Amino acid sequence: MIDPRTLPDLSDDDLRIAPLARAETIPARWYTDPAFHPFERDALFARWWQYVGHESQLPNPGDFVCADVAENPVIVVRDQAGALRAFYNVCRHRGGPLAMEPCGRLRKGVLQCRYHGWTYRLDGALRGVPRFDRTDLFDRDDYGLVPVTLASWEGLLFVRLADDGPPLGDLLDGIAERIAPMRPGTKTFFRRVTYDVACNWKVYVDNYLEGYHIPLVHPELCRVLDYRAYVTETARYHSLQYSPIRDGERQYGAAEGEAFYYFLFPNMMLNLLPGRLQVNLVEPLAPDRCRVIFDYLYDDATSPEARRVIERDLAFSDRVQEEDIEICEHVQRGLHSRAYDRGRFSVECEEGVYHFQCLLKEAYREALAEAAA
Ligand code: FES
Ligand SMILES: [Fe+2]
């Protein structure tokens, strides 16, 4: 639901889509005006599939993961029959949480509210209601947990708060074929690392979508990778930066093969190297703050040799990430300045950024049309 009273100022001119070679970047205001934060929450993050975790994090009945989706607490749980279910992590009594940890195993195999102890079956039905005998006209059937739409692809779990929208397959169309024989579904969750960044979430996404900044921002990475060999491919709702892996990169955990850097609209990345998958999610926390989640998954995370390679991979990713954070925080300050309104694109290097910004305009436009209806 888009609240027509709180729309940001968006002119037809701002929303127009020009060809890449003639296009301007989106206005600075879109990164700084606080009105975009609730608008994007409702127009983007509540409407699009949002990554919440990987199936390997919930192998057994009663295992759960929690996530924040468009500022709504969500819990995904594996039920007794082995199926995965998603609910708002919100008790129907007075809004308490069913779980407060990011992931784990439910106590006694039931969803018990951590506030006053109402219990729910794993299908969401309300079961136990302590000390409620004297409450009139109370029917437990009216107070089950509210379900959330859940879908999975290659072990990756996604939820969507909106009732309708494009199926998950539209977002991922063609990826499985393109990356074969690599399979995200064969990987096991290893670790989550999070970074808080003092920039608008779109600054971080823009930065991910181009290798143009590599020589200046990531000198060490630039020495081992031929960033000029990167190609960008775009699909309806995702884009790909792709490169063959050179010798030098192998020291960071990659075997010979190919590297795929996928961006899935609006805020998710899949970084695939042979044997390893890194999932990123960029969550807006405030108009000028975001949290970036890095989930690391590997084919083999147990042998001592694999662990050494993984620790190197994590340490290297962390250094690159710190470099990206520093530049993104500076960019946010630049966008706030009086000096900047909008810029232009390198046709050679910034097609991914342009593609993202076009999808953004399309989504904004749809939301405005809905608010006006
Ligand atoms: S809020 Fe859940 S039992 Fe009271
Ligand atoms: Fe970077």
Radius of gyration of the chain (CA): 22
Co-location of 317 and 359 in the same domain: yes
**Using CA atoms, how far apart are residues 86 and 76, in angstroms rounded to an integer?**
4
Mean pLDDT, the chain cut into blocks of 10 residues (373 residues total): 86 96 98 97 97 97 98 98 98 98 94 98 96 95 98 97 94 95 92 98 98 94 78 96 67 63 98 93 98 96 91 94 98 98 97 98 95 89
- Ligand 1: residue of 75, 100, 111, 118 to mutate (most ligand atoms within 8 A of CB) is 118
Position 300 in a domain: yes
Co-location of 113 and 237 in the same domain: no
Specify the number of domains making up the chain. Answer: 2
Position 20 in a domain: yes
Tokens at 39, concatenated: 């608008």
Ligand nearest to the CA of 96: 1
| Ligand 1 contact via 115 beta carbon (within 6 Å) | yes
| Ligand 1 contact via 94 beta carbon (within 6 Å) | yes
Ligand nearest to the CA of 113: 1
CB 352 within 8 A of CB 259: no
Residues 6+ apart with CB under 8 A from 193: 293, 294, 296, 314, 318
Q: What is the pLDDT of residue 5?
A: 82
Position 329 in a domain: yes
Q: Which domain holds residue 93?
A: 50-153
Protein residue with its CA nearest to atom 3 in ligand 1: 116
Co-location of 193 and 280 in the same domain: yes
pTM comes to 0.95
Position 359 in a domain: yes
Give the DSSP H or E segment for 351: helix 351-372
| Ligand 1 contact via 96 beta carbon (within 6 Å) | yes
- Of all residues in the chain, what percent are helix, strand and coil, respectively (each to 5)? 35, 25, 40
The ligand 1 atom nearest the CA atom of 116: 3
CA 103 to centroid of ligand 1, rounded, Å = 20
CB 51 within 8 A of CB 156: yes
Q: What is the pLDDT of residue 251?
A: 44
Position 166 in a domain: no
Co-location of 208 and 316 in the same domain: yes
Co-location of 205 and 323 in the same domain: yes
Q: What is the pLDDT of residue 255?
A: 52
Co-location of 71 and 11 in the same domain: no
Q: What is the pLDDT of residue 274?
A: 86
Co-location of 264 and 360 in the same domain: yes
Protein residue with its CA nearest to atom 4 in ligand 1: 116
Co-location of 270 and 128 in the same domain: no
Q: CATH code at 359? A: 3.90.380.10
Co-location of 191 and 219 in the same domain: yes
Position 23 in a domain: yes
Q: CATH code at 107? A: 2.102.10.10
Residues 6+ apart with CB under 8 A from 228: none
What is the residue-wise DSSP string for 95-107? S--S--SSEEE-G
Position 160 in a domain: no
| Ligand 1 contact via 132 beta carbon (within 6 Å) | no
The CA distances from residue 259 to 143, 168, 200, 220, in Å, are: 48, 23, 27, 18
Q: What is the pLDDT of residue 256?
A: 61
Q: What is the pLDDT of residue 298?
A: 95
In 206-354, at which residue ranges do the beta strands (DSSP E only) sit? 231-234, 238-244, 258-264, 268-273, 276-286, 289-298
CA 66 to centroid of ligand 1, rounded, Å = 18
CB-based burial, 228-246: b 16+ in 10 Å, e otherwise: eebebbbbebbbbbbbebe
Co-location of 305 and 358 in the same domain: yes
How many CB atoms are closer than 10 A to CB 309? 22
Position 36 in a domain: yes
Co-location of 78 and 198 in the same domain: no
Q: What angle, 0 to 180 degrees and rounded to 10, lies between the N-to-C axes of helices 304-336 and 201-208?
A: 120
The ligand 1 atom nearest the CA atom of 113: 2
Co-location of 287 and 249 in the same domain: yes
